[in-house]
Amino acid sequence: MNNKMRCAEQMQQELQHFRCPLCGEAFTLVNEQRSLRCPNTHTFDIAKQGYVNLLTKAVHTHYDKQLFEARQRIIVGHKFFNPLVKSIVNAIDEQMGSDKVQQSTILDLGCGEGSHLAAICDALSQQTSKQITGCGIDLAKPGIQLAAKHYPNQIWFVGDLARPPYQKHSFQFLLNILSPSNYDAFDSLLEYGGSVIKVIPGEHYLQELRHAFYSTSRATYSNVETLRLFKEHYPESEMHHLHYTVELDKAGLSDLLYMTPLTWNIPESTRQTFLNQETAIITCDLLLLIGRRSNKS
Ligand SMILES: [Zn+2]
């Protein structure tokens, strides 16, 4: 089965979660399972790679194909975020608890090239023996194209969180990993009693890059404001701190520089000096925030 057919099959199973981003009506699969269409005839075709682009006009982001390929190598090849994936899987497993439901759908808002979501769904399916489906959405088409190519078992949309193409209150778990928050979307998409799991950098995240490339003002990172906003929205939130280091070789360091906006405006000679190292120890410092939407009263 090719990716496009598989995508149509997955869409069919999960249609109850989706809605038209233009008018909010439910979608059906039409045109021999090749398109999503709402009653107002807004129609979106399934691309041959196995995703659906729901944007009505192209959006330019600074994130290109090379960046997402570098990011995928950092996640999958260099296993840089493995401890993070494990923590998220355990957090979701714990929240599911003795939940008798045999199926769950997890939505990743700002999924990039999809490696985190795919790894989380795979590990969670194994750990819980439940059927776990992932839905990922991102504004950057090059990321979603890679995601669809590598992870055909999940459902991928190019779309804008300002008009989320999902039914209200239809997800038990939302992920938002190193990606901007959209509290309106969190509130509208999360089930009552569901959880949003947000990952933000800790102050020592990639500190070796900050020290190499910045003198003072950006040499440390402050998450104070992001944290404050999250706690304001989810006063009962839980927080886990993850701090570990990974040794990266030359190729890994090059991938890391490529995927990190921190280093985009650095002079080439400075980048080159950093890349002359054979290996380097890089710090991964992250906060895992878990916010629960209260049960409807
Ligand atoms: Zn519509």
- Boundaries of domain holding 215: 3-292
Ligand 1 centroid to Cα of residue 287, in Å, is: 38
In a domain, 78, yes or no: yes
Reported confidence tier of residue 297, pLDDT bands at 50, 70, 90: very low
In a domain, 48, yes or no: yes
Ligand 1 centroid to Cα of residue 115, in Å, is: 30
The whole-number pLDDT of residue 296 equals 63
Reported confidence tier of residue 1, pLDDT bands at 50, 70, 90: confident
Ligand 1 centroid to Cα of residue 185, in Å, is: 18
In a domain, 88, yes or no: yes
Reported confidence tier of residue 12, pLDDT bands at 50, 70, 90: very high
Q: What is the pLDDT of residues 22-56, one digit of tens each?
A: 999 999 999 988 999 999 999 999 999 999 999 98
Ligand 1 centroid to Cα of residue 29, in Å, is: 13
Structural tokens at position 134 = 């992932």
In a domain, 202, yes or no: yes
Ligand 1 centroid to Cα of residue 167, in Å, is: 13
Query: How many structural domains is the chain composed of?
Result: 1
Contact between 179 and 83 under an 8 Å Cβ cutoff? The reply is no
In a domain, 297, yes or no: no
Ligand 1 centroid to Cα of residue 39, in Å, is: 7
Residue 96 pLDDT exceeds 80: yes
Residue 102 pLDDT exceeds 50: yes
In a domain, 226, yes or no: yes
Ligand 1 centroid to Cα of residue 142, in Å, is: 25
Ligand 1 centroid to Cα of residue 43, in Å, is: 8
Ligand 1 centroid to Cα of residue 158, in Å, is: 16
The whole-number pLDDT of residue 168 equals 95
Q: Say which CATH number the domain at 115 has.
A: 3.40.50.150
Angle at 154 between CA 137 and CA 285, to 5 degrees: 65
Task: Average the pLDDT over 90-119 and give the result.
Answer: 91
Q: What is the pLDDT of residues 107-163, one digit of tens each?
A: 999 999 999 999 999 999 999 999 999 999 999 999 999 999 999 999 999 999 999
CA dihedral 109, 58, 51, 116 (to 10 degrees): -30
Ligand 1 centroid to Cα of residue 37, in Å, is: 7
Contact between 107 and 135 under an 8 Å Cβ cutoff? The reply is yes
Q: What is the pLDDT of residues 246-293, one digit of tens each?
A: 999 999 999 999 998 878 788 888 889 999 999 999 999 999 999 998
Contact between 259 and 67 under an 8 Å Cβ cutoff? The reply is yes
Q: What is the pLDDT of residues 165-198, one digit of tens each?
A: 999 999 999 999 999 999 999 999 999 889 999 9
Q: What is the pLDDT of residues 186-229, one digit of tens each?
A: 999 999 889 999 999 999 999 999 888 887 666 667 889 999 99
Residues in contact with 116: Cβ distance below 8 Å, sequence separation at least 6, in sequence order: 75, 81, 84, 85, 88, 108, 175, 177
